[in-house]
Structures are given as C-alpha cells and as structure tokens.
C-alpha cells in the first residue's frame, strides 16, 4: 500500500470558474478536519497561452491570481495553500502532479454533461479521474455543507474491488464523525448474491471495528442507479462513493461507465468520490491487512 507515502496534501485543479470555487469549498472543509494543506493547480495548455497573448497578459498574471487566492484561503480559514502552473495535458498532468507531490486526495468540479462543453473542469473531469493515482471527489455547484460529509453512501456489489471503498469510507467517516450507509446491489443470480453478502459482511465488520455508525439498505427492484440516487437523496447523503472499472484487456487503464457517469452527474448534486482499483491492496486473497486503521 502507498498510503504511508501520502502527505497531508489535497490537490484542487482550477480554471477560475464558479464550479472550481465550489470544489475549493469542499477541499477546504476536508482540509480543516484532516489538517491538510492545499495545492491549487492550473494546467497551462496551448489554449491558455493563446488566450493570455490575446488579452495582452503573461503567465505572471495567472501566478498573481493564484497567489491572491492562496493568501485569501489562509486569511479566512487558516489553511496553508500553494499553487502550481504545470504545462501539459489536463487529462494526464493533473494526475501526474498529484503523484509527484504525494497528494492524498484530489477534489475537482464538473459542469456536468452539457452539450459539447469541454472546459478544464467540465464533463472531462470524468476522464481526469481515471488517470488519478489517488481518490477524486467530484462536485457540481453545491457548496460543502457547514457540517461536512455526515452521511456517506457506498453502493456494494459482488466484485472484490468494491471492498476498497470501505477503506476510504472509513477514513472520511472518521474525519467527519459520519454515518456510512451501505446500499447493496443484490441480483437474481445466487452466486452473485452470495458475493454481495460477503462484501456487505466485510464492510460491516470493518466499519464496526472502527466504531463507525453504519446501516444497510437492500437495493429496490428496477433501475439500480435510479434507485440508488433516489435513496441517497431521500437520506440527504453528503457523499457517494464509487469505483471506476478496469478497462477490458488492459492492465492499468480504468474507465467510468455510463452508470457511474449518471451517479457523478446526479440531479441532487451529491458529491461523488471516485476510487480507481489498486491491485496492491490485494495480498493473499484479502485486502488492507496490516493497516493500522484496522488493528
């Protein structure tokens, strides 16, 4: 596991839009609880340079804007913040920066799937997520609540990778003294149902060991995603947690399927934490063994 190498640093990509500011509000709420520092990142692309040239400005203008934002964060919230302006491709450079700086979390905004919107923090946020070495919290336009993430919903199916969400749910629940709600995806297939039951049992066991309040809800018949979102809205969930999916026939590439896209762009604007499966968690058929979190 790489968690021991992670720093108390949260990376926040920004394109200076209202959605980016919303993501920053969520990152600040998390940083206050986790005693983290923030790193604001704006990727410099050929389009960036072209716009600066058109406006008669230089990179210095962006540096001054970001420094002003960092100063404001420290003055208003007492949180240290820095910034970087790496050149590159938004789809890979954000993830690379998170890895190089040892960030433990990435928080970014999305404008949702709106026509051909291709802003840095637009619908393409989903593609950025799959290249991130750390979990990514994606938010829309709903600012963080005063109490932070008090109710966390984790969908649970029969895959072994889904257990990794439990680890991240516990970390977040400990920060906010939150309740974790397991939404189980039971199938008509007996084998899959048994796998779901095992995963739910695993989740309940480790949540209990970490003194996290939790409960289980069996998914209703019908469209699973629709019912999951209905349940999450009904429970006033503050955070949803999903896993990305391994690209078929590719070892280390991940995708976010259409069902998860619907979850990320949910109408209730519930923030969604996306976790890329990490095979290093699996040793001898189990995961997370030896972690101080579970001792």
What pTM did the predictor assign? 0.88
| pLDDT score at 115 | 39
Confidence of residue 222 (pLDDT cuts 50, 70, 90): confident
Residue 138 has pLDDT above 90, yes or no: yes
What element of type H or E holds 68? helix 59-77
Contact at 8 Å (CB) between 109 and 125? yes
* pLDDT winner (highest mean) among 35-39, 52-56, 251-255: 35-39
Whether 42 and 155 share a structural domain: no
Mean pLDDT, to the nearest integer, of 27-34?
96
Domain with residue 76: its CATH number is 3.40.50.620
Q: Is there a domain that residue 145 lies in?
A: no
Whether 155 and 184 share a structural domain: yes
Nearest residue to 171 via CA among 285, 288, 26: 288
Query: Considering only 12-16, 112-116, 208-212, 262-266, which range has the smallest mean pLDDT?
Result: 112-116
| pLDDT score at 253 | 59
CB atoms within 10 A of CB 31: 25
Query: Considering only 66-75, 97-106, 222-231, which range has the smallest mean pLDDT?
Result: 222-231
Whole-angstrom distance, CA of residue 64 vs CA of residue 87: 17
Q: Which residue has the tokens 């896993």?
A: 243
Residue 186 has pLDDT above 90, yes or no: no
Domain range for 178 is: 151-294
Q: Is there a domain that residue 144 lies in?
A: no
Mean pLDDT, to the nearest integer, of 175-198?
91
| Domain count within the chain | 2
Whether 116 and 161 share a structural domain: no
Whether 163 and 194 share a structural domain: yes
| pLDDT score at 290 | 36
Contact at 8 Å (CB) between 66 and 24? no
Q: Is there a domain that residue 217 lies in?
A: yes
- The mean pLDDT value of the chain amounts to 85
| pLDDT score at 278 | 73
């Amino acid at each position: 596991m790489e968690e021991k190498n992670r720093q108390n640093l949260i990376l926040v990509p920004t394109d200076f839009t209202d959605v980016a500011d919303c993501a920053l509000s969520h990152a600040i709420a998390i940083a206050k609880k986790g005693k983290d520092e923030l790193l604001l990142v704006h990727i410099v692309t050929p389009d960036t340079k072209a716009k600066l040239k058109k406006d008669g400005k230089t990179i210095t203008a962006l540096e001054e804007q970001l420094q002003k934002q960092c100063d404001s964060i420290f003055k208003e919230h007492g949180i240290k913040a820095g910034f970087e302006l790496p050149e590159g491709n938004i789809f890979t450079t954000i993830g690379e920066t998170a890895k190089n700086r040892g960030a433990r979390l990435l928080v970014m905004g999305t404008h949702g799937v709106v026509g051909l919107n291709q802003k840095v923090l637009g619908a393409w946020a989903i593609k950025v997520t799959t290249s991130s070495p750390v979990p990514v919290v994606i938010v829309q336009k709903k600012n963080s609540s005063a109490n932070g993430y008090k109710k966390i919903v984790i969908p649970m199916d029969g895959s072994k990778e889904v257990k990794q969400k439990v680890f991240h749910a516990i970390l977040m629940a400990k920060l906010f003294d939150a309740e974790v709600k397991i939404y189980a995806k039971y199938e008509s297939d007996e084998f899959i149902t048994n796998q779901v039951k095992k995963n739910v049992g695993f989740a309940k066991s480790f949540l209990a060991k970490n003194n996290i309040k939790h409960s289980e809800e069996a998914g209703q018949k019908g469209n699973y995603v629709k019912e999951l979102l209905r349940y999450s809205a009904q429970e006033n969930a503050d955070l949803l947690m999903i896993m990305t999916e391994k690209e078929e026939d590719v070892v280390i590439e991940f995708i976010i399927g259409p069902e998860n896209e619907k979850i990320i762009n949910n109408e209730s604007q519930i923030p969604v934490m996306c976790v890329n499966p990490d095979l290093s968690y699996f040793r001898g058929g189990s995961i997370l063994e030896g972690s101080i979190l579970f001792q």
